[in-house]
Amino acid sequence: MANFTPSNLVAGQALFAENYRSAEWRLPDTAILASMFTGAKANPGLASLREREDRTVSAYLPIRRAAGSATARAHNHTGARGDSKAVSLTWNTIAETFSVSIKQNDNNVIPFELNYASQLRGAIDNILERQEAALLALLIADRTQINKGRVQGAWNAVDNVMEIDAASESKFFQNVRSSMKNNLYRNNIMVVADSLAWMNAEFGAAQGPANGTNLGFQFNGLTLSQTTSDIDTDYSGAALAWSMDAAGIVPWIPKQNRKALNASDAMSFVGDYGSVSVPVLDDKGNVAYTLDFAIHAYAQRADTSASNGNVQDVEMEVEVSLDIAYVAAPLSDLRATGSFAGKTDSVIYQFGQLAV
């Protein structure tokens, strides 16, 4: 070889600055996770009752009975006995795994610490995205089949959606609020809107008292949150609404994980349990609360030469997980009468904006 070829510099390598890495690591949308935690949870003690994954946990409440027909007093009146309703909680476990070896980054521009931290964050973000999608699916599946709200629209009894007239698009959220009031939910209503419905909210909120058309009044009593997920693509904007105190989530991790991960134990064959506290952001990017994710890690001898490691290496296997139970206040069949006979009542309501 001539012309100094043997001494040529190898390909130049450097890490991108943090601002360039941030595009790849954009924070996931957790608007629904944040919204489900905004109101009072069903019962904070429910999580503590679940000692292990296979233990059944139920919650109960007394229910109303149907109205009677008496129109006069009686000396020998009799009445029906009361009743209760039970709901068994179902936790949705979502886990992500990754591996890293101690020699994998010895000859790499990316150090071991950044490799591990990046994979851990990726696992956490994936779980947040999967739990977000799972919660949205549960909310949609749980929407009420009974809506007595008389608004500027019509009830779609096939899809269980209150459809708002195209001409009332600017008053979409006034109709949401009126419908909820007609169903006796008067204040503290949580509304999760998709991108199209959210645009209506932004437009309406900007039309204050100083404008020719004041539309800001329609948001009184509503707490709005935007999700980037599709709620229902059949409409020119859709939203889910519920009373803040009537639906929520119960997060859970095993008791062995309720501590910090011991790095020395995690690098052994037996391994260790631990947890990491993860902030959940609302749709504005603010921290709504934190969730504890479970971590389990163990190590084993391995030949990682085929995966950029070494013949004599130690491979670390890591699992990150989180259990979440969706809980909505159970309702009796008290309102399942007339045209709603045989229908299922729920605290979750869906609204759809008909296209112009």
* pLDDT at residue 105, as a whole number: 81
318 and 198 in contact (C-beta within 8 Å)? no
pLDDT of 83 strictly over 80: no
- DSSP lists the bridge partners of residue 320 as 96, 295
Mean pLDDT of the chain: 85
Could you tell me the CA-to-CA distances from 190 to 102, 218, 222 in Å, in that order? 47, 14, 6
Q: What percent of the chain has pLDDT over 90?
A: 48
* pLDDT at residue 62, as a whole number: 73
Determine the distance from the C-alpha atom of residue 321 to the mean position of all C-alpha atoms in its chain, rounded to a whole number: 15
E-strand ranges in the chain read: 58-63, 83-88, 91-101, 153-156, 161-164, 189-193, 222-226, 238-243, 247-252, 272-281, 287-302, 313-328, 349-353
pLDDT band of residue 353 (cuts 50, 70, 90) is: very high
Looking at residues 163-170, what average pLDDT do you find?
A: 93
> What six digits make up the tokens of 348?
């979750």
For 189-226, what is each residue's pLDDT tens digit?
A: 999 999 999 988 777 666 655 454 545 555 677 889 99
pLDDT of 237 strictly over 60: yes
pLDDT of 128 strictly over 90: yes
Say if pTM beats, i.e. exceeds, 0.95. no
Q: What percent of the chain has pLDDT over 70?
A: 85
CB atoms within 10 A of CB 93: 12
230 and 194 in contact (C-beta within 8 Å)? yes
Task: Write the DSSP symbol of residue 337.
Answer: -
**Cα separation, 23 vs 1, whole angstroms:** 43
E-strand ranges in 165-271 read: 189-193, 222-226, 238-243, 247-252
For 280-311, what is each residue's pLDDT tens digit?
A: 999 888 998 899 999 999 999 989 888 888 89
**Cα separation, 340 vs 321, whole angstroms:** 41
* pLDDT at residue 44, as a whole number: 62
Could you tell me the CA-to-CA distances from 163 to 169, 223, 232 in Å, in that order? 11, 20, 12
193 and 224 in contact (C-beta within 8 Å)? yes
318 and 341 in contact (C-beta within 8 Å)? no
**Cα separation, 149 vs 154, whole angstroms:** 9
pLDDT of 187 strictly over 90: no
Looking at residues 171-188, what average pLDDT do you find?
A: 93
pLDDT band of residue 258 (cuts 50, 70, 90) is: very high
3-state secondary structure of 219: helix
**Cα separation, 296 vs 272, whole angstroms:** 6
**Cα separation, 138 vs 124, whole angstroms:** 21
**Cα separation, 4 vs 17, whole angstroms:** 33
Contacts of 225 (CB under 8 A, 6+ apart): 31, 32, 34, 35, 38, 190, 191, 192, 193, 282, 283
pLDDT of 337 strictly over 60: yes
pLDDT band of residue 51 (cuts 50, 70, 90) is: confident
- The secondary structure element, H or E, covering residue 49 is helix 45-49
